[in-house]
Amino acid sequence: MIDAVLVMNTQGKPRLAKFYKSLSPVKQQEIVRKVYTGLSSRAEHFCNFVEADEIFGAGTKLVYKHFATLYFVFVIDSGESELGILDLIQVFVETLDSIFKNVCELDIVFNFNKVNTVLDEIVMGGQVVETNSTEIVKSVQEIFK
Q: Which domains does the chain have, with CATH numbers?
A: 2-144 (3.30.450.60)
Q: How confident is the model at residue 56 (pLDDT cuts 50, 70, 90)?
A: confident
pTM: 0.92
Q: How confident is the model at residue 33 (pLDDT cuts 50, 70, 90)?
A: very high
pLDDT of residue 6 exceeding 90, the answer is yes
Q: How confident is the model at residue 75 (pLDDT cuts 50, 70, 90)?
A: very high
Q: What average pLDDT does the structure give for the chain?
A: 92
Q: How confident is the model at residue 19 (pLDDT cuts 50, 70, 90)?
A: very high
Per-residue confidence (pLDDT) for residue 40, from 0 to 100: 86
First to last CA, the chain: 32
pLDDT of residue 42 exceeding 90, the answer is no
Provide DSSP, 18-32. EESS---HHHHHHHH
Provide DSSP, 106-141. HHHHHTHHHHHHHHHHHEETTEE----HHHHHHHHH
In the sheet with 2-9, reading across from the earlier edge strand, the strands are 14-19, 2-9, 70-76, 61-67, 49-51
Q: How confident is the model at residue 9 (pLDDT cuts 50, 70, 90)?
A: very high
Could you tell me which residue, 54 or 109, shows the higher pLDDT? 109
Alpha carbons within 13 angstroms on the beta-carbon side of residue 60 total 18
Q: Is 60 helix (H, G, I), strand (E, B) or coil?
A: coil
Q: How confident is the model at residue 92 (pLDDT cuts 50, 70, 90)?
A: very high
Three-point CA angle 16, 19, 22, nearest 5°: 145
